[in-house]
């Protein structure tokens, strides 16, 4: 098949372009393939890691024997993860149920240090302040409440702050915090809070 002069020129240009660019084109394809493969591998690795951590978390939480040691080991091995904080919160809850408030306080302080998430930090701080309040360590509880951040936690924060001031005998500060909490809490808490306000 004969080519016209224009077709031969186009063919030569294509050959020249290929000679000049084939290395970079192949390199681009290889890099793209490596990036896609690497990304898929990383995603798979992360998913497997999360599944393994979740299984270890369940094992530590639901251990029937030597649970404290298992939780401590789990927290040590998975430091600064949400799972570590959740394990500490669960252990602290059990300590409170057993009226071991000093142990609960220690666990909640660890949870607060471990947490890098605003929600988990707020939950840890609120529970820690409640335990400190239970132990009548009022100043420590008030200081802990200062670490509670986020608008969604303000109702609970003001409510507990009011309880602490009331326990201290400071009715004015208790009333001020209850009034701040009133529009922010759930309906059931509102009724209870209004009764408290009426009795101040």
Overall domain count for the chain = 2
Encode 22-46 in three state secondary structure: HHHHHHHHHHHHHHHHHHHHHHHHH
Q: Which residue has the tokens 């607060």?
A: 112
Looking at 137, 166, 190, the residue that finishes a domain is 137
In this prediction, residue 154 carries a pLDDT of: 93
The parent domain of residue 189 ranges over 150-199
Any domain includes 68: yes
Any domain includes 191: yes
Please give the angle made by the CA atoms of 118, 123 and 125, to the nearest 5 degrees. 90
Q: How far apart are CA 52 and CA 42, in angstroms?
A: 15
The DSSP 8-state label assigned to residue 186 in this structure reads -
In this prediction, residue 127 carries a pLDDT of: 92
Token pair of 15 as six digits: 């050959």
Contact present, 122 and 107 (Cβ < 8 Å) = no
Any domain includes 156: yes
Query: 68 and 116: one domain?
Result: yes
Query: 133 and 154: one domain?
Result: no
Query: 48 and 132: one domain?
Result: yes
Query: 160 and 195: one domain?
Result: yes
Query: 112 and 47: one domain?
Result: yes
In this prediction, residue 75 carries a pLDDT of: 73
In this prediction, residue 158 carries a pLDDT of: 94
> In terms of DSSP H, where are the helices of the chain?
5-61, 67-77, 82-97, 101-114, 118-134, 138-145, 154-168, 171-181, 187-199
Contact present, 90 and 61 (Cβ < 8 Å) = yes
In this prediction, residue 117 carries a pLDDT of: 85
The pTM assigned to this predicted structure is 0.67
Q: How far apart are CA 188 and CA 174, in angstroms?
A: 19
- Tens-binned pLDDT, residue by residue, of the chain (200 aa): 555 666 666 666 666 776 776 677 677 777 776 666 666 555 654 555 555 555 554 555 555 555 666 777 777 877 788 878 888 888 888 888 889 999 999 999 999 998 888 988 999 999 999 999 999 999 999 999 999 998 889 999 999 999 999 999 999 999 999 999 999 888 888 888 888 888 88
Token pair of 156 as six digits: 């609970």
In this prediction, residue 45 carries a pLDDT of: 47
From the list 112, 44, 127, the residue with the least C-alpha distance to 75 is 112
Query: 94 and 50: one domain?
Result: yes
């Amino acid at each position: 098949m004969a080519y016209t002069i224009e077709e031969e020129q186009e063919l030569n240009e294509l050959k020249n372009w290929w000679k000049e660019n084939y290395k970079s084109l192949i390199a681009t394809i290889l890099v793209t393939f490596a990036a896609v493969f690497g990304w898929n591998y990383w995603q798979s690795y992360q998913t497997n890691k999360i599944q393994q951590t979740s299984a270890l978390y369940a094992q530590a939480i639901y251990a029937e024997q030597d649970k404290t040691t298992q939780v401590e080991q789990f927290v040590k091995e998975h430091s600064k993860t949400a799972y570590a904080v959740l394990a500490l919160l669960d252990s602290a809850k059990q300590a409170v149920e057993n009226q071991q408030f000093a142990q609960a306080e220690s666990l909640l302080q660890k949870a607060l240090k471990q947490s890098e998430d605003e929600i988990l930090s707020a939950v840890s701080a609120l529970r820690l302040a409640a335990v400190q309040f239970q132990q009548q360590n009022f100043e420590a509880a008030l200081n802990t409440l200062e670490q509670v951040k986020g608008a969604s936690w303000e109702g609970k924060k003001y409510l507990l702050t009011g309880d602490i001031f009331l326990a201290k005998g400071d009715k004015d500060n208790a009333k001020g915090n209850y009034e701040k909490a009133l529009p922010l809490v759930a309906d059931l808490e509102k009724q209870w809070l209004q009764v408290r306000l009426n009795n101040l």
